[in-house]
Chain A
Amino acid sequence: MASFTPTIPVHRPATSRGNRADLPPVIGGGDDGRPDPGSPDYRARLRRARLGLAVALTPILMLFVSFTSAYIVRQGLPSLDPNTNKVVHDWTPTPLPTVLFLINTGVLLLSSVTIELARRQLIRRVALQPVESIPGVTLGNEKEFPWLGVTVVLGLGFLTGQWLAWRELAARGFFVATGPSSSFVYLLTGGHAVHLLGGILALLVAGSTVILRRPLESRRIVVDVTAWYWHFMALLWIYILALLEFAH
């Protein structure tokens, strides 16, 4: 005998900022009653994307670990001076455009703040979506601030600042091949810039989900992982700057 107890799926959006209800568990075991793997469930997809990002950051970290070890090792190596035929230390530190670098750091940190605001804005919107879908309910006058656009502009601003810093280095006579120290300055800053450019591309993808009218959840996932990537890039930049400033 079939019983008729109709159930209505009730979404309970987590709107409060304080508890971390929006954070799904990171890694699930095989027995934790998760939804079926591969299901397009939004939370499962978000968790998977975040896990994928955490894994993807590892080789980026390894790349810069490897550059760092090469940097430190190279500093300690003596080399042969062909004129005197003596072993000398040829490491002459490159004078850094410190002021410009600090301004750029400020711009990048600011962009980290704006992308975090964009991320939280989307969390709120996804949470409120079920409410909005109720006929007759409007959320009224909540304004959408284009935090993503601001982040892209700030990111491009940072890259322009870095370009200016390279120009300044070149103006002082320090090119990529001038000396071992200048090679590393260009390598580390350039490597970081390429990775940040990847972040900007991801933001443009996130923007295109609006144009393509993809579901809000898809945009939220892209923005979420890009935001974590962006924060990682900011931390990486501070690390690189500290390395160049204090270990030259």
Chain B
Amino acid sequence: MVAQESHGHAAPQGFIRKYVFSLDHKVIGLQYYFLALTAVFVGMFLSLLMRIHLVWPGVSLPLLGEIKPETYLSLLTMHGTIMVFFVLTTAPQGGFGNYFLPIQIGAPDMAFPVLNMLSFWTTFIAYLVMLSAFFVVGGAPLHGWTGYAPLSALQSAGPGEGLGADLWIISIALFCVASLMGALNFITTTLDMRAKGMTMMRMPLTCWSWFITAILGLLAFGVLLSAGILLLMDRNLGTSFFLPIGTINGQLTGHKGGSPLLWQHLFWFFGHPEVYIAILPGMGVASQLLSTFSRKPIFGYKAMVYAMLSIGLLGFMVWGHHMFMSGMSPYTAFAFSVMTMAIGVPSAIKTFNWLGTLWGGRIRFSSPMLFAIGFVSLFVSGGLSGPFLAQPVLDIQLHDTYFVPAHFHLIMGVAAIFGIFAATYYWFPKMFGRMLNEGLARWHFWFSFIGTYAIFMPMHYLGMAGHPRRYSQLTEVAYLRPLMPLQKFITYAAFVTIAGQLIFLFNFFWSLRNGKKATDNPWEATTLEWTTATPPPHDNFGGHTPVVHNGPYEYAVPGAPRDYVMQTDPATVAAH
């Protein structure tokens, strides 16, 4: 690893160095954000195609024609992969984390700017490789975002399992490397570059969440990388890590003795922490916003930090709960089950602390706050189905039914997306110097909030009624026929919700040019990004380094001249 020159240099001038191969963490953050913005619309479009096919299987779509079962599986795989990796992992951490972690801790940039740039461009290449899987012979892979072997390990397993699947694995491997470089930067920056006075326990909870997320990524992505390498070897070098002896399409595969379960273990050892990689930054943003817009200190700052740490720690011990159906020993299953339900404790601590923060506050219902409250709501309703699935006895009934997509979409998908929206509405003025339109933002919120509940709540009932997931067409199955009206309702809700996202898109690009000019601190918040210019200069603080005297949530301090005390204000008694 090469030590890089830090920010001694002046701001770059040329277009390429300034906006394309930039070393500035703010530009890199925006690059990540816009990458995720395109990815989320690709992913959403794919989900819409799936919803249409599920309720009108015979309908022929322009350009695509009729959706064949294997096409449906491709759509499902790519929807999941793009959303999990290139949206939920990229936007909260790569986007907002990159932009605001250094500013919030008072640093001029990330610790290793060149590595930061490489991390983004590797992600970008991974994204292109992933998308290219659509356009090769056989199309995109069929194995779902979890890539279970043996389906994913055999070239001959299906039309998308040739080159398409290879590209998928290569893309994931590149993404792992990029995420590891990013995590390295986040951890080093947090530990080594905090401004004077910015102790760990004075960091905003957003910084804590990015820091813990980076640690999770550092430990998890290496394991996914190893699994990807083994899978590529099985596919292309004839090894048998994941491939048991057996026949595919009536032919002996020539492989012997591998274990498909080994893939599941390796994948979920990554996969479960990945869930927290997606949701933890959302928790950080929600904490930040609930405190700011309630004009109250966060309830139980230390408890919030320890709760996030224990969620991260426990997240590495529960991967087996994805594998209750794999013939696992009941004693092992019991251990995983208990560990999983233990995550309920720190999650409940966080939820009650959020409610405690709201309690008695002078709440300002601005659009960022609406999305933060929406996050808490979705976190609770998505999270509560977790303890159901954590019990092996119930999981045997619910496994691979719509109950599971209902659960993880609400908590990992929509809650995390609400975290991203909350962060967007909150930080847009700082990033672009203009305010988003508040009226449109409220329309966007209600469309999204009601819409996503309308999509995913009914899926619980589908699941309990035994509707299996991942099937292309079940319209002709007798016992599922009574559920068709519910399926249709979900599809209509998806149309409406996606239409609501166009409001956001319009608001975003319209406000970039025409929004009201933002002041330096429009939300009257306390953290360091609001002490600097809007948008922040190249070195974040215009030549000086901030000195921190206060905690991040000093609202309604008795005796203070305003109802908030900036982290840099020296005037307070600072009893903390």
* B433 contacts partner chain A, Cβ-Cβ < 8 Å: no
Q: Is B221's CB under 8 angstroms from A59's CB?
A: yes
Q: Is B226's CB under 8 angstroms from A70's CB?
A: yes
Bound-complex Cα distance A46 to B111 (A): 12
Query: Which B residues are CB-close (under 8 A) to A176?
Result: 233, 237-239
Q: Is A70's CB under 8 angstroms from B222's CB?
A: no
* A39 contacts partner chain B, Cβ-Cβ < 8 Å: yes
Q: Report which of A33, A38, A79 forms a contact with B193, defined as CB distance below 8 A.
A: A38
Query: Which A residues are CB-close (under 8 A) to B468?
Result: none
Looking at chain A's contact residues, the main secondary structure is helix
Can you list 12 A-B contacts (CB < 8 A)? A28-B192, A37-B107, A48-B188, A52-B1, A59-B222, A70-B230, A73-B265, A79-B256, A176-B238, A177-B237, A183-B240, A202-B1
Bound-complex Cα distance A213 to B191 (A): 31
Query: Which A residues are CB-close (under 8 A) to B405?
Result: none
Q: Is B241's CB under 8 angstroms from A183's CB?
A: yes
* A30 contacts partner chain B, Cβ-Cβ < 8 Å: yes
The residue on B at minimum CB distance from A52 is: B188
**Proximity string of chain A (27-65) to chain B, C-beta cutoff 8 Å, 1 when within and 0 when not:** 111110110111110001111110111011011111101
Interface size class of B (residues with CB under 8 A): 35 or more
Interface set, chain A 146-204, CB cutoff 8 A to B? 176-177, 180, 183, 187, 191, 202
Query: Which A residues are CB-close (under 8 A) to B252?
Result: 82
Q: Is B545's CB under 8 angstroms from A180's CB?
A: no
Stretch from A6-14, A133-141, A217-225 forming part of the interface with B: A217-225
* A67 contacts partner chain B, Cβ-Cβ < 8 Å: yes
Q: Is A58's CB under 8 angstroms from B257's CB?
A: no
| Residue of B184, B258, B266 with most chain A CB atoms under a 10 A cut-off | B184
Q: A48-B111, A67-B226 are in contact. Are A30 and B202 (CB under 8 A)?
A: yes
The residue on A at minimum CB distance from B187 is: A55
What are the 6 tightest A-B residue pairs by CB atom distance, in nearest-first order?
A79-B257, A177-B238, A62-B222, A59-B222, A37-B193, A49-B3
The residue on A at minimum CB distance from B246 is: A80
Q: Is A38's CB under 8 angstroms from B188's CB?
A: no
Query: Which B residues are CB-close (under 8 A) to A27?
Result: 191-192
Nearest Cβ on chain A to B114's Cβ, whole angstroms: 12
Nearest Cβ on chain B to A186's Cβ, whole angstroms: 9
Q: Is A187's CB under 8 angstroms from B218's CB?
A: no
Q: Is B111's CB under 8 angstroms from A66's CB?
A: no
Q: Is A60's CB under 8 angstroms from B3's CB?
A: no
Q: Report which of A34, A56, A79 forms a contact with B244, defined as CB distance below 8 A.
A: A79
The residue on B at minimum CB distance from A47 is: B192
Q: Report which of A37, A44, A49, A59 forms a contact with B219, defined as CB distance below 8 A.
A: A59
Stretch from B4-12, B287-295, B518-526 forming part of the interface with A: B4-12
Beyond A29-B194, A30-B202, A74-B258, 11 additional contacts (C-beta under 8 Å) are A38-B539, A38-B545, A48-B111, A49-B1, A55-B183, A62-B223, A63-B225, A73-B262, A73-B265, A77-B259, A183-B239
Q: Is B107's CB under 8 angstroms from A38's CB?
A: yes
Q: Is A225's CB under 8 angstroms from B202's CB?
A: no
Q: Is B184's CB under 8 angstroms from A48's CB?
A: no
Nearest Cβ on chain B to A79's Cβ, whole angstroms: 3
Query: Which B residues are CB-close (under 8 A) to A82?
Result: 245, 252
* A237 contacts partner chain B, Cβ-Cβ < 8 Å: no
Q: Is B219's CB under 8 angstroms from A58's CB?
A: yes
Bound-complex Cα distance A187 to B266 (A): 16
Bound-complex Cα distance A63 to B219 (A): 9
Query: Which A residues are CB-close (under 8 A) to B32?
Result: none
Bound-complex Cα distance A90 to B244 (A): 12
The residue on A at minimum CB distance from B220 is: A62
* B429 contacts partner chain A, Cβ-Cβ < 8 Å: no
The residue on B at minimum CB distance from A34 is: B196
* B180 contacts partner chain A, Cβ-Cβ < 8 Å: yes
Query: Which A residues are CB-close (under 8 A) to B197?
Result: 30-31
Q: Is B225's CB under 8 angstroms from A37's CB?
A: no
Q: Is B222's CB under 8 angstroms from A37's CB?
A: no
Bound-complex Cα distance A176 to B230 (A): 12
The residue on B at minimum CB distance from A221 is: B3
| Residue of A27, A31, A36, A55 with most chain B CB atoms under a 10 A cut-off | A55
Q: A59-B218, A73-B262 are in contact. Are A202 and B2 (CB under 8 A)?
A: yes
* B108 contacts partner chain A, Cβ-Cβ < 8 Å: yes
Q: Is A73's CB under 8 angstroms from B259's CB?
A: yes
Could you list which residues of chain B lie within 8 angstroms of chain A, going by C-beta atoms?
Answer: 1-3, 5-8, 106-109, 111-112, 180, 183-184, 187-188, 191-200, 202, 218-223, 225-227, 229-230, 233, 237-241, 244-245, 252, 256-259, 262, 265-266, 269, 539, 545, 548
Q: Is A70's CB under 8 angstroms from B238's CB?
A: no
Q: Is B258's CB under 8 angstroms from A66's CB?
A: no
Q: Is A40's CB under 8 angstroms from B1's CB?
A: no
Q: Report which of A30, A63, A177 forms a contact with B226, defined as CB distance below 8 A.
A: A63
Query: Which B residues are CB-close (under 8 A) to A235?
Result: none
The residue on B at minimum CB distance from A50 is: B3
Q: A70-B230, A176-B237, A180-B257 are in contact. Are A62 and B187 (CB under 8 A)?
A: no
Bound-complex Cα distance A176 to B194 (A): 48
Q: Is B3's CB under 8 angstroms from A63's CB?
A: no
Query: Which A residues are CB-close (under 8 A) to B269?
Result: 66
Nearest Cβ on chain B to A40's Cβ, whole angstroms: 5
Bound-complex Cα distance A29 to B202 (A): 11
Query: Which A residues are CB-close (under 8 A) to B265?
Result: 69, 73
* A21 contacts partner chain B, Cβ-Cβ < 8 Å: no
Q: Report which of A61, A66, A79 forms a contact with B245, defined as CB distance below 8 A.
A: A79
Q: Is B240's CB under 8 angstroms from A53's CB?
A: no
Query: Which A residues are CB-close (under 8 A) to B238?
Result: 176-177
Q: Is B188's CB under 8 angstroms from A66's CB?
A: no
The residue on B at minimum CB distance from A33 is: B196
Q: Is A180's CB under 8 angstroms from B3's CB?
A: no
Query: Which A residues are CB-close (under 8 A) to B196?
Result: 30-31, 33-34, 36
* A229 contacts partner chain B, Cβ-Cβ < 8 Å: yes
Q: Report which of B191, B195, B241 forms a contact with A74, defined as CB distance below 8 A.
A: B241
Query: Which A residues are CB-close (under 8 A) to B2?
Result: 202, 205, 222
Q: Is A55's CB under 8 angstroms from B188's CB?
A: yes
Q: A66-B269, A80-B245, A176-B239 are in contact. Are A39 and B184 (CB under 8 A)?
A: no
Query: Which B residues are CB-close (under 8 A) to A70?
Result: 226, 230, 241, 262, 266
The residue on A at minimum CB distance from B198 is: A30
The residue on B at minimum CB distance from A61 is: B222
Bound-complex Cα distance A28 to B539 (A): 22
Q: Is B262's CB under 8 angstroms from A37's CB?
A: no
Q: Is A38's CB under 8 angstroms from B108's CB?
A: yes
Query: Which A residues are CB-close (under 8 A) to B194?
Result: 29-30, 37
Nearest Cβ on chain A to B189's Cβ, whole angstroms: 9
Query: Which A residues are CB-close (under 8 A) to B266?
Result: 66, 70
